[in-house]
Amino acid sequence: MTDQPRHLPVDALEDWTAAVCTRLGLDRSDVDTALVLDLARDVAHGVARPAAPLSAFLAGLAAGRAGGSPTDAADAAAAISELAAGWRTADDHA
């Protein structure tokens, strides 16, 4: 690891996604990039930024266990986004 953060240019996102799919043996057409990015945005804004990648992982895990279809992924993402929209921290309850 380096001390400098590495940022992926937006135009390279498709190349990165395709490379990861190839490496993991996934069909690129099964990956809804907008769905994942929207989920990350919802969680980052509704809960906390560090919760976004964890939530994306959990959505993928839940989708895989449910069967792994694009609908399973969309359902998991929708459930997490809904939870994030209503999320309140312990400080919010005080």
Q: Indicate the pLDDT class of residue 9, thresholds 50, 70 and 90.
A: confident
pLDDT value of position 5: 59
d(CA 29, CA 1): 31
Q: Tell me the domain boundaries of the chain.
A: 30-87
Q: Indicate the pLDDT class of residue 79, thresholds 50, 70 and 90.
A: very high
Instruction: Calculate mean pLDDT across residues 72-92.
Output: 89
Q: Indicate the pLDDT class of residue 59, thresholds 50, 70 and 90.
A: very high
Is 18 within 8 Å of 60 (Cβ atoms)?
A: no
Q: Residue 91 above 80 pLDDT?
A: no
Which DSSP category does 67 fall into? Answer: T
Q: What is the pTM of this model?
A: 0.81
Instruction: Find the helix packing angle between 70-85 and 51-66, rounded to 10°.
Output: 140
